Amino acid sequence: MQKKDLISIKDWTEEEIKHLFYTAAKIKGYQKTNLKFHPLEGKTLGMMFAKASTRTRVSFEVGMYQLGGYPLYLDIKANLQVARGESIEDTAKVLSGYLDGIMIRTYNHDDVVKLAEFGTIPVINGLTDLLHPCQVLTDIFTFMEYRGEAKGATVAFIGDGNNMAHSWLYGAARTGMNLNIVSPKDYQVNKEIYEDAKKIAKDNNCKLSLFEDPKEAVKNVDLIYTDVWASMGQEAEQKKRAKAFAGYKVDRDLLNRADKNALVMHCLPAHRGDEITSDVMDDRKHSAIFDEAENRLHLQKGILYLLMK
Ligand code: CP
Ligand code: NVA
């Protein structure tokens, strides 16, 4: 069945995700061999942003051009009437008459759900306070490029129980990866999402676990993942969080406790020296961080193609 949206990894089956990875790998191949591929000619993607972005904005914008389509940047706060109170429902209906798809980055996850529900065009979640599906799909795709198979591998997520951690719960569960999450006591993942993802994991023979000690969580894992301690919108909590997360830094000592060939990933932007040390970020043997960033382009071209062609 043709999928309409990508709101959460949960909504896509393992087969659909596999098909996305296959499609993205093919499209990446076209790009690397300078083959023109313009399936979205004449189509327009509206890119609605309420938060800052480097990777998401540039990779979606360039991705649309490369697929022959047109990306239209829409600054929610500065230009759109939603910032002045026009409803998401009305906005969804209006934009469905002009555009062929929407990518949205905003705070409230329900706004994205509503946009998809009231609009008739595909909606792609480019990050909410709750989830960041495009990033985690890219991360798993990148892991598979390095290691061939994701199923059965173990990932340790170190740090805030945030949008990245939540999408990792669904991403790991859907693709059969084991996931160890370790966060300070007051910064744990959303319990409902954890329980929900655990049901999917159980059916897929993989395990999602919460740990208390980062050293235990990384023991023998195949991938260490981390993210900033204060996400967009939490800037005022930066100092308080820095204290709470002090023992959650991905450094050489932690990396040495993982499998000797373990990869390290970070969605970026990073605060070097806080959640991850520079020597780990730049470690040529272990860090897949900048390949991961590049793959946002290729993986999302796969999403755009599958949803908008
Ligand atoms: N990882 C990620 O989504 O980066 P941006 O915030 O720069 O888009
Ligand atoms: N957790 C981070 C991810 C940024 C890509 C944030 O929401 O700011």
Q: Is there a catalytic annotation at residue 105?
A: yes
CA distance 183 to 157: 8
Pocket test for ligand 1, best of 60, 139, 296 (most atoms within 8 A of CB): 296
DSSP 138-162: HHHHHHHHHHS--TT-EEEEES--S
Checking if the pLDDT of 137 tops 70, the result is: yes
Distance CA 76, CA 104 (A): 9
Backbone angles phi, psi at 225, to 5 degrees: -125, 140
**What is the Å distance from ligand 2's center to 46 Cα?**
21
**81 annotated active-site:** no
Instruction: Determine which residue's CA is closest to atom 2 belonging to ligand 2.
Output: 231
The model's pLDDT over 90-119, given as tens digits with 9 standing for 90+, comes to 999 999 999 999 999 999 999 999 999 999
State the average pLDDT over residues 133-137: 99
Q: Is the pLDDT of residue 153 over 80?
A: yes
- Mean confidence (pLDDT) of the chain: 98
Q: Kindly state the helix (H) or strand (E) to which residue 94 belongs, with its residue range.
A: helix 88-96
pLDDT band of residue 148 (cuts 50, 70, 90) is very high
| Terminal CA-CA length for the chain | 14
**How many CB atoms are closer than 10 A to CB 271?**
14
Amino acid 2: pLDDT: 85
CATH assignment of 133-292?
3.40.50.1370
Work out the pLDDT band at 267, boundaries 50, 70, 90.
very high
In angstroms, the CA 44 to CA 69 distance is 6
Task: Report the pLDDT averaged over residues 121-148.
Answer: 99
Phi, psi dihedrals of residue 49, rounded to the nearest 5°: -125, 125
- What is the structure's pLDDT at 1? 67
Mean pLDDT of 191-220: 98
Q: Is 188 considered catalytic here?
A: no
Q: What is the CATH number of domain 9-131+294-308?
A: 3.40.50.1370
Q: Is the CB of 232 under 6 A from ligand 2?
A: yes
Both tokens of residue 160?
């805030």
Which residue in the list 132, 174, 286, 298 is annotated as catalytic? Answer: 132
Q: In the chain, where does the domain assigned CATH 3.40.50.1370 lie?
A: 9-131+294-308, 133-292
**Max alpha carbon distance in the chain (Å)?**
55
**Contact 165 CB / ligand 2 (< 6 Å):** no
Ligand 1: atom nearest CA of 126 is: 3
The number of residues in the chain equals 309
Q: What percent of the chain has pLDDT over 90?
A: 99
CA of 54 to the centre of ligand 1 (A): 6
Q: Which atom of ligand 2 is nearest to the CA of 53?
A: 5
The Cα-based distances of 70 to 91, 131, 132 in angstroms read 20, 26, 23
Please give the full DSSP string across 18-85, using - where no structure is assigned. Answer: HHHHHHHHHHHHHHHTT----TTTT-EEEEEESS--SHHHHHHHHHHHHTT-EEEEEETTTT-GGGGT
Average pLDDT of span 14-37? 98
Q: Reply yes or no on whether the pLDDT at 49 is more than 70.
A: yes
- Owner of token pair 């999402």: 193
Taking the centre of ligand 2 as the mean of its atom positions, its distance from the CA of residue 132, in whole angstroms, is: 8
Q: Is-catalytic flag, 296?
A: yes
Rounded distance from Cα 52 to ligand 2 centre (Å):
10
Full strand arrangement of the beta sheet holding 223-226: 208-211, 178-182, 154-158, 223-226, 263-266
DSSP symbol at 282:
T
> Sorting pLDDT into bands at 50, 70 and 90, what band is 238?
very high
The helix (H) or strand (E) run that includes residue 172 is helix 163-175
pLDDT of the residue at 129: 98
Give ligand 1 pocket residues (Cβ under 6 A): 53-56, 127, 135, 267-269
pTM for this prediction: 0.98
Confidence of residue 249 (pLDDT cuts 50, 70, 90): very high
User: Looking at the predicted structure, is the pLDDT value of residue 308 above 80?
Assistant: yes
